[in-house]
Amino acid sequence: MAKSPEEQHPVKAFGWAATDPSGHLSPFKFSRRETGDEDVRFKVLYCGMCHSDLHSIKNEWGNSIYPMVPGHEIVGEVTEVGGKVTKVKIGDKVGVGCLVGACHSCDNCVNDLENYCPKWTLTYNSINTDGTITYGGYSDHMVANQRYIVRFPDNMPLDAGAPLLCAGITVYSPLKYYGLAKAGKHIGVVGLGGLGHVAVKFAKAFGAKVTVISTSPSKMKEALEHVGADSFLASRVPEQMQAAVGTLDGIIDTVSAVHPLLPLLSLLKSNGKLIMVGAPEKPLELPIFPLLMGRKTVAGSIIGGMKETQEMVDFAAKHNITADIEVISMDYVNTAMERLAKADVRYRFVIDIGNTLAATKP
């Protein structure tokens, strides 16, 4: 007889879970493992709401495991550490992002690229080495191996810093890897949402000139005056796009809906790079001639390894980079998901777990 989620592990836990592809979240009792020698346990104080959470609870990528406790932008305060933990101590402010495990022996892991390990373990909607389901941060506490714990500097606010654990590293890593994190580069950012607004902030901190590219002309003022972009292109206004042909060194494309790539490729200089970090559920059409005429690259990137994630958080703290957030209570989460589906948020919902979760216990 299979054990219930509440009986699989010795430490009782409480959170909110989706139980089917309707995606409706409700209170859920489960359990987490005991604190192992290399483990860190922490009380969850805030958890960001990523677009991946919405895709996953509704099984839009076809890989969902229920019951599902979402959340991979998790921050809180350490309450217990294993005997071999050297990275943090009780009372430290820490976070966990998208990963809680990998093989630690493949070439990727050896090179601090756990995010490309073929045997990675995701923070939720994944299977642990013991065969149990991983549960994410819409919950009262979290436990993870110290390798996957990110230290938060004292000057980094936990609520506005939480989304950096997914959104932040998702844009920081490709900017660095593809040689765009340099003063004087001209970077395009497609989509001014949870990922896009953080991409603008990191690119500016690296000294780049930044152009926001959006289908919504109404976002121009927000992009220029609030987020700090240098210029704005309305992608459905041909005159604007034509005037910008061949001006960009690289583009970070954050859009997770199906959209045409040809207009974006035309904006790139020779040797320019179009880097996809959004995840549309259907294939996009990729015209080849524009790649040939200018030796252009279309590439992808997903989050980052743990060493780079810590580097990103430290860089963000140094440059006062945080996400623009709307803090919500736990019982608002279903309404927030509906709003997220309509892109009705500037620019990231963050759940105040520490102050509002307990009140939802049945």
Average pLDDT of the segment spanning 219-224: 94
Q: What is the pLDDT of residue 279?
A: 86
Q: How confident is the model over 112-163, as pLDDT tens digits? A: 999 999 999 999 999 999 999 999 999 999 999 999 999 999 999 999 999 9
Average pLDDT of the segment spanning 163-187: 97
Average pLDDT of the segment spanning 331-357: 96
Q: Is residue 168 over pLDDT 90?
A: yes
Q: What is the pLDDT of residue 178?
A: 98
Residues in the chain: 362
Q: Burial letters for 200-219: b for 16+ Cβ neighbours within 10 Å, e otherwise? A: bbbbbbbebbbbbbbeeeeb
pLDDT band at 1 (very low <50, low <70, confident <90, very high): low
Q: Omega of the bond prior to 67 within 30 degrees of 0, cis? A: yes
Distance CA 199, CA 355 (A): 30
Q: Is residue 214 over pLDDT 80?
A: yes
CB atoms within 10 A of CB 362: 7
CB atoms within 10 A of CB 127: 13
CB atoms within 10 A of CB 118: 9
CB 261 within 8 A of CB 298: yes
Average pLDDT of the segment spanning 36-55: 96
Average pLDDT of the segment spanning 193-211: 97
Distance CA 32, CA 142 (A): 8
Q: Is residue 2 over pLDDT 80?
A: no
Average pLDDT, the chain: 96
Residues 6+ apart with CB under 8 A from 185: 203, 206, 207, 208, 209, 249, 250
Q: What is the pLDDT of residue 150?
A: 98
Distance CA 224, CA 213 (A): 12
Q: What is the pLDDT of residue 248?
A: 98
Which residues sit opposite 118 in a β-bridge? none
pLDDT band at 280 (very low <50, low <70, confident <90, very high): confident
Which tokens go with 206?
Answer: 């690296």
CB atoms within 10 A of CB 327: 15
Predicted TM-score (pTM) of the model is 0.96
pLDDT band at 171 (very low <50, low <70, confident <90, very high): very high
Which tokens go with 24?
Answer: 């409706």
pLDDT band at 7 (very low <50, low <70, confident <90, very high): confident
Q: What is the pLDDT of residue 287?
A: 94
Average pLDDT of the segment spanning 48-66: 95
Q: Please state, in angstroms and as integers, the Cα–Cα distance from residue 232 to each residue in 76, 217, 268, following that order.
A: 37, 9, 15
Q: What is the pLDDT of residue 281?
A: 80
